[in-house]
Structure 1
Amino acid sequence: AADIKVSAGDFFSPNNEEIKNRYAAEIMARLDYDAVCAGDQEFRTGADFFQDIFSRYDLPIVNANLQLCDEQSCAVFGKPYIIKEVKGVKIGITGVTSESCFLFYPKSIKERLKFTSTPREALEELVPVMRKKCDYVFALVHAGEKEVEEIASSVKGIDVIFSGHTQTLTYKRGKPVIVQAGPSARFAGELTMRIEGKKTEYENKFFSLTDDVAKDEWGLSLNERYLIEYKKSLEKFKK
Structure 2
Amino acid sequence: MRNKRFMSLALSITMVLSLVLFNPISAFADDAKELVILHFNDTHARVKSVEKDGVVTGVGFDRIAQYKQDLLKENPNVLMLDAGDTLHGQPIATLSQGESIVKILNLMGIDAFTPGNHDFNYGFARLQELEKMMNFPIVSANVMDKSGKEVFKPYVIKEMDGFKVGIFGLSTPETSYKTNPKNVETIDFTDTIAAAKKSVEALEKENVDVIIALTHLGLDQGDDTSDKVAEAVDGIDLVIDGHSHTTLEEGRMVKNTLIASTGEYDKAFGIVTLKIANGEVTEKSAKLMAAADTKDIVPHPDVVALLADIDKGLNEILSEKIGTSTVMLDGARENVRTKETNFGQLVADAMLDATGAEVALTNGGGIRASIEAGDITKNHIVTSFPFGNYLVTKEVKGKDIKAALEHGLSKYPEQNGGFPHVAGITFTFNTANPAGSRVSDLMIGGSPVDMEKAYLFVTNDFMAAGGDDYTMLKPYATVNEYAAFDEILVNYIKKMGTISTTLVPRMTVNETAPVTPAPEPMPEPVPVPQDGKVIVPEPMETMNYTVTSEMHMMELAMNHGFAWQHILVLNPEISNPMLKLKAGQVIKLPVH
Q: TM-score range by the shorter chain?
A: 0.7 to 0.9
User: Which amino acid in the other structure matches residue 152 of structure 1?
Assistant: A
Select 2:253's aligned residue among 173, 186, 192.
173
1:35-184 equivalence runs, <5 A: 35-67=112-144, 76-115=150-189, 117-132=190-205, 133-145=207-219, 146=221, 147-170=225-248, 171-174=251-254, 175-184=256-265
**Partner residue of 1:205?**
287
CA distance in 2, matches of 1:176, 1:74: 29
Distance apart, 1:101 and its partner CA: 3.5
Gap runs ≥5 in structure 2: 1-74, 323-374, 377-592
Distance apart, 1:37 and its partner CA: 0.9
Q: 1:101–1:144: 8 Å Cα contact kept in structure 2? A: no
**Bigger mean CA deviation after superposition, 92-101 or 191-200:** 191-200
**Partner residue of 1:231?**
315
CA distance in 2, matches of 1:199, 1:93: 15
Aligned pair 1:218/2:302, yes or no? Answer: yes
CA distance in 2, matches of 1:30, 1:62: 19
Aligned pair 1:4/2:79, yes or no? Answer: yes
Aligned length: 235
Query: Match of 1:181, SS?
Result: coil
**Bigger mean CA deviation after superposition, 206-215 or 79-88:** 206-215
Query: Match of 1:4, SS?
Result: strand
CA distance in 1, matches of 2:111, 2:281: 25
Q: 1:101–1:143: 8 Å Cα contact kept in structure 2? A: no
Tell me: higher relative CO, structure 1 or 2? Use CA pairs within 8 A at least 6 residues apart. Answer: 1
Deviation by residue 1:26-85 (Cα, 9 ceiling, x = unmatched): 11111112221111121111222211111022431112111357xxx7863332212223
CA distance in 1, matches of 2:162, 2:238: 19
The CA RMSD over aligned residues, in Å, is 2.4
Gap runs ≥5 in structure 1: none
Q: 2:107–2:303: 8 Å Cα contact kept in structure 1? A: no
**Bigger mean CA deviation after superposition, 168-177 or 195-204:** 195-204
| Residues 199, 58 of structure 1: alpha-carbon distance in 2 compared, 3 angstrom cutoff | closer
Q: 1:119–1:141: 8 Å Cα contact kept in structure 2? A: no
Aligned pair 1:17/2:91, yes or no? Answer: no
Q: 2:120–2:179: 8 Å Cα contact kept in structure 1? A: no
Q: 1:19–1:226: 8 Å Cα contact kept in structure 2? A: no
CA distance in 1, matches of 2:193, 2:230: 9
Relative to the length of structure 2, the TM-score reads 0.37
CA distance in 1, matches of 2:173, 2:244: 14
CA distance in 1, matches of 2:185, 2:261: 29
Distance apart, 1:193 and its partner CA: 1.0
Q: 1:44–1:109: 8 Å Cα contact kept in structure 2? A: yes
CA distance in 2, matches of 1:214, 1:169: 25
Deviation by residue 1:138-159 (Cα, 9 ceiling, x = unmatched): 1111113141111111111111
Distance apart, 1:91 and its partner CA: 1.5
Percent identity of equivalent pairs: 24
| Residues 153, 64 of structure 1: alpha-carbon distance in 2 compared, 3 angstrom cutoff | same
Deviation by residue 1:66-111 (Cα, 9 ceiling, x = unmatched): 1357xxx786333221222323222111001121134232221120
Distance apart, 1:217 and its partner CA: 2.2
